[in-house]
Amino acid sequence: MSFESLQDLYLGAGPALAPLLWLTGGLLAVLIAEITPGLTRLRPAVVPAALLGAAWSAGQLIAEPSGLVLGGTFMGDSQTGAFTLIFLGATLLAWGQARHYYGQEEPFLGEHDALLITAPIGMILMAGAQDLIVFFIGLELLSIPLYCLAAFRRTRDDSVEAGLRYFILGAFGVTLFLMGAGLVYTTAGTLNIEGLGDALVALTTPLGSVGMALILASLLFKAGVAPFHLWVPDVYQGSPTPITTLMATGTKAAAFAFLLRLAPILPSEAGLPLGIIGVATLALGNLGALVQTDLKRLLAWSGIAHAGLLLLVISAAVSAAGTNQQAEILNAATSALLLYLLAYAFAAGGALGLVAWMEADGEDHTQLSRWQGLGSVRPGVAAGMTLFLLSLGGIPATGGFLGKWLAFSTAVRADMLPLAVLGALTSVIALGYYLRVIITMWMKPRPESWAIPSMNRPLAAFLAGFCAAMVLALGLIPGFVLGPLF
Amino acid sequence: MVDLLFYVAAAVSVLCALGVVVSANPVQSVMMLLGSFTGIALIYLLAGFQFLAAIQILVYGGAIMVLFLFVVMLLNQGDPVALAREQGVLHKEQLAGGLAVAGSALAVLLVAVARTDLPRPIFGYLWPEGGLDPLLGMAQAMFGPYVLAFEGASVLLLATAVGVMTLAKRQRNKPVAAASTSEEASA
C-alpha cells in the first residue's frame, strides 16, 4: 500500500468522518481550555460549538452521502447522518440540562463536558459501523464515559451505585459481544457486515448462530430490552438526570442504529422470536411503570417499553429478509425508527429536563408525590410535562403518535399483524401511568406549606420550550420539519 | 509434539484463569494472571502469530502486570479483616446460580462446536516465513481500513483517563474551583 493510496483512502473518507472530527476536536479543546488558566472561561462555549459543527457536517452528509469509506469499514450514508443528528441533539439536551444541575460537583464540570462529548463519538461509530471491530470501539467509546458520568455525583450513594452497576453489567454485555464476534469470525472468516451478508451459510451453522445470538444479546442489553432490562431502572434513577437523558435517548438510538444495520444479514427465521421479545418487553415495561412512585424510575420503565416497540420494528425488517419486499420494508423500518427515536428524544429528553429543572430546587423532586398540584403554581412546567407524557403515550397531534403509527404499520406490512395488535393493546396500558402523573399535577391540591419551586433558569426554560415545540411540530407539521432531512 | 504443546498451554491458561478468580490473596491472583497470559502467548505462537505472542508477553506480561501489582500494593491487601469480609460476600446460592449459568453456557458452546464442521487447524506447518502477522501487513491494516478503530481507541484511552481522574479525585483545589464556579454563574 503506497502513500498515495493511503491519502486517497483518508481524503475520500473526509465528509463521512467530519462529524467525528468535530467532536474529537471539541474533546481536545475542552481539555486544553480546562488546563489553560486564561482559556477556562471559553469552555462552556466549546461543547455547543463542536456539537453544532458536527451537526452541520452531518447535514452535509445527508445531502451528499459518501457511501462506504475506509475500505468498507464505515458507512457514510444519509442514515448515519440522520442518526448522528439524533445523537447530537440528545447530547446537546444533556449538556444544557447539566448547566444548572450540579451543586457541589460543579468544579468538575470540565471533566463532565469532556466525557459528555466523547459519548456521541461512540454513538456515531456504532451507527455507521460496517465492521464489528469499528462497532466494538464505538460501543466502548459510548459506554466508558457513561459509566463515569453515571457515578458523577460521588457523594451520593445512589449515583455511585448506578455507576458501579452500569459498569459491571455493561462490561459483561461487552464481553458477550466479544465472545460472539469471536465465534462469528471463527465460522465466517470475516468481521465485515457486507462479508457476513455473503457468508449467511456459515452464520446459520450452530456455532455461527451462537455467535450472532451473543452479539444480539449485547445489543439488546445496551438498548434495555427484556430479559436484559434489569439494570435500567436503577441506573436511570441513580444517575444524574442529564446523564439519564443521554442514556435514554442517545444510547438507545445507537443500539437500534446498529441493529438496523444487522437486520438484513440476520436469517428471516430470527424475525418472529425478536418480535415476540419486543412485544413481551413492551408489556413488561408498561406493567413495571404502573407501580412506580419516582418519576425517573417511571420514565426508565417506560423507556424499556419503548425499546420493546422499536425491537418490533427491527423484527419486521428481519422477517422480511429474502422476500421480494425486503428493501421496501427495510426502508419503512428505517424511517419508522428514525422518526420514533427523534420524537422520543424530544419527549423523554424534555420530560427528564423538567425533572432536572425541578431538582435544582430540592433533591426529592423526582418523587411523583412532590409534583402534586404543580399545575396551580407552575402551570407552564406542568403543561410541558403533560405534553411530553402525552407524546410518550402516542396521543395524536404529538410526535409520539406519528412514530407509533409508523412503527405498527411497518410491523403490519411485514405480515406480523398479531404481534402488532398485541403491541398496540399493551401500549394502551402506558396511558394509565402517564395519566396518573398528569392527574397528580393538575387535579390534586397542593399543600399550603410547600414552597413554590423558584425555577429561575433561563436555559432550562429555553430547552423545555424547544423540546415542546419540536414535539408539537413533529406531530402537527411533520413534513415541514422532516422535509429537509429525508 | 505441537499438539501436545497446545494442550499444555491451553490447560495452563484455563487453570491459571480459574486461579485468578478463586484465590483469596490478590498478589496470588496477579501471579495467576501472569501464568494465564503466558499460556495464551504460547497459543498465539503455535498458531503462527509471532508478533502478537511477543507483544502479549511484553505488554500484558510486563507492563500491565506491573500496573496490576502497583494497584494491589496500594490497596490494603492482606488485611485479615478485609479478607474475611470479602470471603463472606458471595452466598452459596449465588455461587451455585453463577456456576449453573456458566455451566449451561459452556454446554451450549461445546454442543455448538461439536455440531459445526470447522476446518481443523494444522499447527506449525502452513505459516509463511515470519509468521501470519508480519509487521508490514499489520501496519497496513491498522492505518488502512482499520484506521477508524485505531484512532477511536486513542480517543477511548484519553476519555478513560479523564473519567478515572474524575472519579478518583475527591475535591478540586480552591483557586480553580472558584474560577470554574464564577464561570458557570456567568454562563
Is residue B185 over pLDDT 50? no
Least confident range from A214-218, A394-398, A449-453: namely: A449-453
Across A468-472, average pLDDT: 93
Does residue B182 surpass a pLDDT of 50? no
**Shortest Cα–Cα distance, A116 to chain B (Å):** 10
Residue A418 makes CB contacts below 8 A (sequence gap 6+) with none
pLDDT of B139 > 70? The answer is yes
- Picking from A157, A363, A103, the residue whose alpha carbon sits closest to that of residue B177 is A103
- Is A117 inside a domain boundary? no
* Domain assignment of residue A232, yes or no: no
Q: Is the pLDDT of residue B79 over 70?
A: no
Q: What are B83-124's pLDDT values in tens digits?
A: 666 666 677 888 899 899 999 999 999 999 888 887 766 555
Contact A73 B148 (CB under 8 A): yes
Is A125 inside any structural domain? Answer: no
Range from A174-188, A295-309, A329-343, B79-93 carrying the lowest mean pLDDT: B79-93
Q: Quick check: A475 and A402 in contact, CB under 8 A?
A: yes
What lies within 8 Å, CB to CB, of A40 at 6+ separation is A33, A34, A110, B176, B179, B180, B183
**Any A CB within 8 A of B106 CB:** no
Question: Mutual orientation of helices A417-443 and A399-413 as an angle, nearest 10°?
Answer: 160
Q: Give dist(CA B135, CA B60) in Å, integer.
A: 19
Distance CA B112, CA A227 (A): 23
Domain total of chain A = 1
For residues B174 and B76, which has the higher predicted lDDT (pLDDT)? B76
Distance from C-alpha of A355 to C-alpha of A241, rounded to nearest angstrom: 7
For residues A109 and A104, give the distance between their C-alpha atoms in angstroms, rounded to a whole number. 10
How many Å lie between the alpha carbon of A332 and the closest alpha carbon of chain B?
A: 30
Select from A133, A136, A169 the residue whose CB has the most chain B CBs within 10 Å, as the one to mutate to test that interface. A133
**N residues, chain B:** 187
Domain ranges of chain B: 2-132, 134-187
**Nearest-10 Cα torsion for A61, A9, A116, A305:** 60
Query: Taking CB atoms and an 8 Å cutoff, what residues of chain A touch B140?
Result: 1
Q: B165 to chain A: nearest residue by CA?
A: A111
Q: Phi first, then psi: give them for residue B150, nearest 5 degrees.
A: -65, -50
Is 50 exceeded by the pLDDT of residue A378? Answer: yes
Higher per-residue confidence, A143 vs B130: A143
List of E strands, A87-228? none
- Rounded Cα distance between A464 and A348, Å, is 11
Coil vs helix vs strand at B31: helix
Output the pLDDT for position A54.
96
Q: What is the pLDDT of residue B122?
A: 58
**A143-162: average pLDDT:** 91
Q: Which among A111-120, A202-211, B121-130 has the top mean pLDDT? A: A111-120
B110 at A interface, C-beta within 8 A: no
Q: Please report which helix (H) or strand (E) contains residue B132, including its range.
A: none
* Residue B174: per-residue pLDDT: 44
In a 3-state reduction of DSSP, which class is residue A125? helix
Q: What is the mean pLDDT of the segment spanning A220-224?
A: 92
pLDDT tier at B170 (50, 70, 90 boundaries)? low
For residue A358, name the pLDDT band (cuts at 50, 70, 90).
Answer: confident
Q: Distance (Å, rounded) from C-alpha A397 to C-alpha A400?
A: 8
Q: Are A191 and A181 in contact (CB under 8 A)?
A: yes
Cβ atoms of residues A110 and A34 within 8 Å: yes
Q: B126 — contact with chain A (CB < 8 Å)?
A: no
The answer for residues whose C-beta is within 8 angstroms of residue A140's C-beta and 6 or more apart is: A122, A174, B156
Return left, alpha or beta for A362; rule: phi > 0 is left, psi -120 to 50 is alpha, else beta.
left
Q: Is the dihedral of CA A120, A126, A129, A135 positive or negative?
A: positive
CB A352 within 8 A of CB A97: yes
Q: Which of A299-303, A464-468, B132-136 has the lowest mean pLDDT?
A: B132-136
Report pLDDT for A306.
95
Q: What is the residue range of A455's domain?
A: 269-486
More confident of the two residues B90 and B78: B90
Q: Which residues have C-beta within 8 Å of that of residue A167, sequence separation ≥ 6? A: A147, A150, A151
State the smallest CA–CA distance between residue B156 and chain A in angstroms: 5
pLDDT at B176 over 60: no
Just give the CATH number of B2-132: 1.20.120.1200
- Judge whether A57 lies within some domain: no
Q: How large a percentage of chain A has pLDDT more than 90? A: 61
Cβ of residue B149 closer than 8 Å to a chain A Cβ: yes
Nearest to A21 by CA among B148, B64, B135, B182: B148
Residue A146 in any domain: the answer is: no
pLDDT the model gives residue A41? 83
Single-letter amino acid code for the residue at A46: V
A60 to chain B, closest Cα gap in Å: 20
Distance from CA of A430 to the nearest CA of B (A): 34
Backbone φ, ψ for residue A310 (5° rounding): -65, -35
- Range scoring the smallest mean pLDDT among A86-90, A96-100, B75-79: B75-79
The ipTM of this complex is 0.90
Q: Can you say how many angstroms the Cα of residue A329 is from the centroid of all Cα atoms in its chain?
A: 22
pLDDT at A2: 75
Q: Based on DSSP, count helices (H) and strands (E) in chain A, helices before strands.
A: 21, 2
Chain A residues close to B115, C-beta within 8 Å: 205-207
Mean pLDDT of A158-168: 92
Q: In whole angstroms, what is the distance from residue A127 CA to residue A256 CA?
A: 8
Q: State which H helix or E strand residue A363 sits in.
A: none
Confidence of residue B183 (pLDDT cuts 50, 70, 90): very low
Reading phi first (left if > 0) and then psi (alpha if -120 to 50, else beta), residue A65 is in beta
**Distance in angstroms (rounded) separating the CA atoms of residues A422 and B82:** 52
User: How many Cβ atoms are within 10 Å of A464's Cβ, its own excluded?
Assistant: 28
Q: Is B170 on the interface with A (CB under 8 A)?
A: yes
Cβ–Cβ below 8 Å for B163 and A111: yes
Q: Check pLDDT > 50 for residue A83.
A: yes
Contacts within 8 Å (CB) and 24+ apart, A410-415: A410/A313, A410/A316, A410/A317, A410/A329, A410/A332, A410/A333, A410/A336, A411/A275, A411/A312, A411/A313, A411/A315, A411/A316, A413/A316, A413/A325, A413/A328, A413/A329, A413/A332, A414/A271, A414/A316, A414/A317, A414/A319, A414/A320, A414/A329, A415/A319
- The answer, for B173 touching chain A at a CB cutoff of 8 Å, is no
Distance CA B164, CA B101 (A): 32
**CA atoms of B152 and B129, how far apart (whole Å):** 32
A134 contacts B160? CB cut-off 8 A: no
Which of the residue ranges A168-177, A213-222, B118-127 would you say has the lowest mean pLDDT? B118-127
Q: Which amino acid is at B115?
A: R
Q: Tell me: the pLDDT tens digits for A231-275?
A: 999 999 999 999 999 999 999 999 999 999 999 888 888 899 999
Q: What are phi and psi of A69, to 5 degrees?
A: -125, 175
Mode of pairing for the β-strands spanning A67-69 and A74-76: antiparallel
Q: String of b and e for A396-412 (b: at least 16 CB within 10 Å)?
A: eebbbbbbbbbbbebbe
Average pLDDT, chain B: 81
Q: A409 vs A344, A394, B111, CA distance in Å?
A: 18, 14, 40
Scan for cell 402534586, then name that residue: A372
pLDDT at A216: 94
Quote the CA–CA distance of A122 and A60 in Å, as a whole number.
20
Indicate which of A210, A239, A456, A457 best probes the interface with B, i.e. most B CBs within 10 Å of its own CB.
A210
